[in-house]
Amino acid sequence: MTSDIASSGGADEGTGVRRREDGWVLLDDGAEVASVVAEPAGVDVLALTHTVTDPARRGEGLAGRLVEAVLADVRREGLTVRPECSYVAAWFARHPDQRDLLAT
């Protein structure tokens, strides 16, 4: 099941961030341009295991935008994360103000 958790502001329903059973996906005109895979990792903890960006779209900041949306959703749900993906771990290193979302 897919649900809209953030929108890029466009009227097109095929654009924005959607949550699905295995994580989140960023869509642009209906095309999947980035994704984050998440797995349960304990009570109220999600392991973020993989971040993938369409090779043709790398360098556009899509993965960062997606991770920000994922973490906003995690925060709203009262969850924490364990970054098992190198991209997400590096993102937290660049955003120390968000480290309260890291599972202890």
The domain ranges of the chain are: 3-101
What CATH number does the domain located at 3-101 have?
A: 3.40.630.30
Strand partners, 38: 48
Q: What is the mean pLDDT of the chain?
A: 90
- pTM score, two decimals? 0.86
**2 vs 16: CA distance, rounded Å:** 12
- pLDDT at res. 13: 64
| Digit-coded pLDDT (tens) for 54-102 | 999 999 999 999 999 999 999 999 999 999 999 999 999 999 999 999 9
Q: How confident is the model at residue 52 (pLDDT cuts 50, 70, 90)?
A: very high
Nearest CA to 39 out of 22, 55, 20, 53 is that of: 22
Residue keyed to tokens 């969850």: 79
At residue 53, the pLDDT reads 98
